[in-house]
Amino acid sequence: MSAAVIDVHGLEKAYGDAPVLRGVDLTVPRGSITALLGSNGAGKTTLVRILATLLRADAGSASVAGFDVATQPAQVRGAISLTGQFAAVDEILSGRENLVLVARLRHVPDPGAVADELLERFSLTEAGGKRVATYSGGMRRRLDIAMSLVGDPPVIFLDEPTTGLDPQGRAEVWRAVGELARQGTTVLLTTQYLEEAEQLADQVAILHEGRVVVNGTIAELKRLLPPARVEYVEKQPTLEEVFLAVVGPVRATAPAGEPAPEATP
Ligand SMILES: Nc1ncnc2c1ncn2[C@@H]1O[C@H](COP(=O)(O)OP(=O)(O)O)[C@@H](O)[C@H]1O
Ligand SMILES: [Mg+2]
C-alpha cells in the first residue's frame, strides 16, 4: 500500500483559455496534515474540487485513497469529506440537530450517539442544544468540521477553514484541526496564511503560477534557505498574542514554566 493518500501528477485545468493549474504534482502522506498554501486566485479551490470529484481536470492524473478521481469518482466520494470555504450548517437547527441530520443522511448507526461524541470532541457540548444562528464564527466552523467527520472518512479536505474568522475563532479551529490528525485522519487544508500552515501542518505544498513549487515538511522547507545570522533582540509579543491575552484565553495554551500574560480588566 502506498504511503501517499493523495497522489497527483501533471494535473492541468483551464477555465476557457485561462490556465489555472499547469501541471500540478503533489503527494500527501497518510495521516498527515498537509497545507496547500497559495495566494488568492492561485487555484487552491480548483485543485480541491478536482480531488473531490466535483470538477474534471483537463490533463494529468490524481488518486485519493487509492482511487482514481476520473475513473472511480464514487469510490473517491466514499472516502472523503469536503468542508468548503463557506460553512454549510443549517442556521435554524441546533448544532446537535445538524450532526444528527448528517448522520442519518450518511446511514450511520446511532446518530444521536455520534452527534454527542462529536460535540464533545469539538468542545460544543454546551452549545449543542442551541440554534446555530447564535454561534460565533469559530463555533460554526468547528461544527462544520465536526459534520465532515460523521462516518469517519479517511480523508478530509478543508478549503480555507479560517478565512473570515477573528483570531479567537481561528485559534479554536486550529485546535479542532490538530485534533483531527491525532485521530489518524489525513487532512488537506488550503490556506492563504503562512502562519496557519506553520502552526498546523506537518507537510506544506506551495501552489504558485499553476504548479506546486515546493512540497515537503516544514523542516525541509526551512532548509531551503541558509540559516539566518543570529541576532539578539528583545522579544516583543505579536499583536495576535496581545489580542488573545486581552480578549480572553481560549483554553490554556501557555507552555509549562511560562505564565500566561495577565488579562487587564
Ligand atoms: N468557474 C470558474 N470559471 C472561470 N474562472 C474561474 C472559475 N473558478 C475559478 N476561476 C478562476 O480561476 C482562478 C483560480 O481560482 P480558485 O481555484 O478559486 O483559486 P483559490 O482558491 O486559490 O483562490 C482564479 O483566477 C479564478 O478567478
Ligand atoms: Mg479558494
Torsion of CA 230, 236, 238, 241, to 10 degrees: 120
User: 48 C-alpha vs ligand 1 centroid, how far in Å?
Assistant: 11
- For 128-158, what is each residue's pLDDT tens digit? 999 999 999 889 988 998 898 888 899 999 9
User: pLDDT tens digits for 19-69?
Assistant: 999 999 999 999 999 999 998 999 999 999 999 999 999 999 999 999 999
With a cut of 90, say whether residue 233 has pLDDT above it.
no
Question: Is the model more confident about 200 or about 244?
Answer: 200
* Predicted pLDDT of residue 171: 87
Between 34 and 243, name the one with better pLDDT: 34
Q: How confident is the model at residue 249 (pLDDT cuts 50, 70, 90)?
A: low
**Which of 46, 50, 160 is the best mutation target for the ligand 1 pocket, counting ligand atoms within 8 Å of the beta carbon and taking the most?**
46
Global model pTM greater than 0.85: no
Task: Tell me how far apart the alpha carbons of residues 154 and 23 are, in angstroms, rounded to a whole number.
Answer: 26
The pLDDT, as a whole number, for residue 252 is 47
| Ligand lying nearest the CA atom of residue 41 | 1
Least confident of 130-134, 185-189, 227-231: 227-231
Which of the ligands is closest to the CA of residue 46?
A: 1
What is the distance in A from the centroid of ligand 1 to the CA of 46?
6
Q: What separation in angstroms does the CA of 63 have from each of 150, 152, 157, 186, 197?
A: 22, 19, 14, 14, 23
pLDDT range class, residue 195, cuts 50, 70, 90:
confident
pLDDT of res. 175: 86
Considering the chain, what is the average pLDDT of its residues? 86
Give strand pairing partners of 80: 155
Cα(31)–Cα(50) distance, integer angstroms: 21
Cβ atoms within 10 A of the Cβ of 173, count?
26
pLDDT in tens, 6-21: 999 999 999 999 999 9
Burial of 231 from C-beta contacts in 10 A (0-12 / 13-18 / 19+)? exposed
Ligand 1 atom closest to the Cα of residue 85 is 21
Is 26:69 a contact under the CB 8 Å cutoff? Answer: no
